[in-house]
Amino acid sequence: MAGGAPVRRALDHPGKGARRRREIIEAAAEIIVAEGPGAVTHREVAARAACSLSATTYYFSGIEELLEAAGAHLLGRWAEQAERVRDDLRTSVPGTRRADVVGPVLTALLPHVGEVRGHYQQLLAAGASPALARAYRSGRARLEAAVTDILAAAGSTCPGPLAVAVVDGAVVSALSEGRDVRKTAADLLRRVV
């Protein structure tokens, strides 16, 4: 623009726009884990991300698109955790035996102790949100592949999806019955690996 200040647009600062979009996704993901997908509104996300309400609608056409992005983010973090365990196992403990693989699988799949209930509550609630369910379904293969690799490194032929299902079922049972989550999951997982 000759003789005047340049017009600034979001495209002029792609780093800033990408950062803001990521902050909005992370805020929505936090709400999903803390309160469930039904609590995700543009207003709540804007408040948690410390941004304007209009920013949430600028970057996302609607709540469904935002939920899908937040779901992909959450499942991506879960898969990254499993991949870190897989990579650590490959480099630091060659020759892991089948009996020793239960610990790494649980580390790959379970969140920190204080986050287990919230993690599984949001997984169960995901089915009520088509967008969130879609995100989890499309990213699940990455998580299962990492678990399959962990099991294979120990010589187990147990498929990753089976191990994930056993752990998920054990955790839900343990939570609903007031039992120790990690012990219940370990006991059942030992039977299939």
Q: Is the pLDDT of residue 134 over 90?
A: yes
What is the pLDDT at residue 113? 82
Q: Is the pLDDT of residue 6 over 80?
A: no
Higher-confidence residue of 176 and 14: namely 176
CA-nearest of 184, 191, 104, 109 to 151 is: 104
Higher-confidence residue of 126 and 109: namely 109
pLDDT tens digits for range 37-80: 999 999 999 999 999 999 999 999 999 999 999 999 999 999 99
CA-nearest of 145, 143, 187 to 167 is: 187
pLDDT tens digits for range 141-164: 999 999 999 999 888 899 999 999
Percent of the chain with pLDDT over 90: 68
Q: Is the pLDDT of residue 99 over 70?
A: no
What is the pLDDT at residue 125? 87
In this structure, what is the dihedral angle of CA atoms 88, 91, 93, 98, given to the nearest 10 degrees?
Answer: 70
As its CATH architecture, domain 10-192 has Orthogonal Bundle (1.10)
What is the pLDDT at residue 93? 56
Q: Is the pLDDT of residue 103 over 70?
A: yes
Q: State residue 6 phi and psi, 5-degree precision.
A: -65, 145
Domain boundaries, the chain: 10-192
Higher-confidence residue of 96 and 88: namely 88
Interatomic CA distance for residues 87 and 72, integer angstroms: 22
Is-contact 71 32, C-beta < 8 A? yes
